[in-house]
Structure 1
Amino acid sequence: MRTLSQPLLQFSSPKITTAAAYQNAKLNPRERTQIGFHKHPKSLPLFSSLSPCQVIITKSLPLVASVALLLTACPAEAGFLSGMKGIESVPGPKLPELDFLKRINEENQKKYAETDAKFKSSPILKELLERSKQNKEKNEKAIQDKYCLRGAEWGVGDCSTEGMSPADREKFISELKQRAGVTE
């Protein structure tokens, strides 16, 4: 195993006991060697002229800044960008109005209005609307009858058979089945 003559990094912390990998330009990545950190208090030239109190303050400054940012930052809420105007709110350029296109558009609008009026007054549409109304009423009644039958069989709800004699109960349920169109 080769050893490196000059480490790239040195740390002054005596608590660090793990080994670090150093790279030499002549060695490929597979031949890197691990060397323990130096435990000298003055190994980093940056902090060598500072007192221990100044070193602590200097090293804790990033932590203090991070805590200050976390405490003062406002959380983003849903709809954070909802007040922003997008590109769709920017009006487009004014296009030139051509008279012949304007006339064609007006004629088409008149044709569409006439066709809509004819369709709304047609007897076929009136007949279909009337049938639809009748079917809706009939279907609502059928659904109510089915729910009433179910409530009578289970003994719950408005159609409950609670308190009826067994003969009255059977008669009532058979009438509901006949009304709902249920066959057994």
Structure 2
Amino acid sequence: MKISTSQLLEELKDRTGNHLKYTQTLLLKSENELNFRISTDSWSVLECLEHLNRYGDFYIPEISHKISSSATSPQAIFKPGFLGNYFAKSMLPKKKLNKMKTLKAMNPIHSQLNKDVLNKFIQQQQLLLELLEKSQHIDLEKIKTAISISKLITLKLGDTFRFVIYHNARHMAQVERILKNI
């Protein structure tokens, strides 16, 4: 698979912008609605977003550092790496979603959460949009980022963006399913 770099960045900016707008609408919900869970072992809306915030706490500084220390030139075409493409695609929401186990440190179940979680996620999405904008001036293939489970494994920056933003999309779909049950 090959994709135009500008097309990829536009798709990722659109997705991130949609996540940002949707989360802003969640600010209108009550904390009771945002803390509602379908079952005792399922996540609430706020837990879904807290989970994403925890990943954002790792990936946003990692991406920011790699972009600011890069001296590469942009390429017209982005070719995903094998592992990065696999990780990114596995995050995309599907009709029949395959459940995934999350790392203990990234699992917010039964946390005491409030709307600060939404505000933090909104801030992270704004930062992601800024990073996507800056990344137009660098090579998304040559720059590599560590991943949250191991600093020894690295992904191309373009794949890291795809993974993070598709992971956000996965949990935004989960948020929508939760709210339909209220």
Please give the range of the TM-score, normalised by the shorter of the 2 chains: under 0.3
Q: Looking at both structures, which has the greater relative contact order when contacts are Cα pairs under 8 Å and sequence separation is at least 6?
A: 2
TM-score (norm 2): 0.20
Structure with higher Rg: it is: 1
Greater share of helix residues, 1 or 2? 2
TM-score (norm 1): 0.20
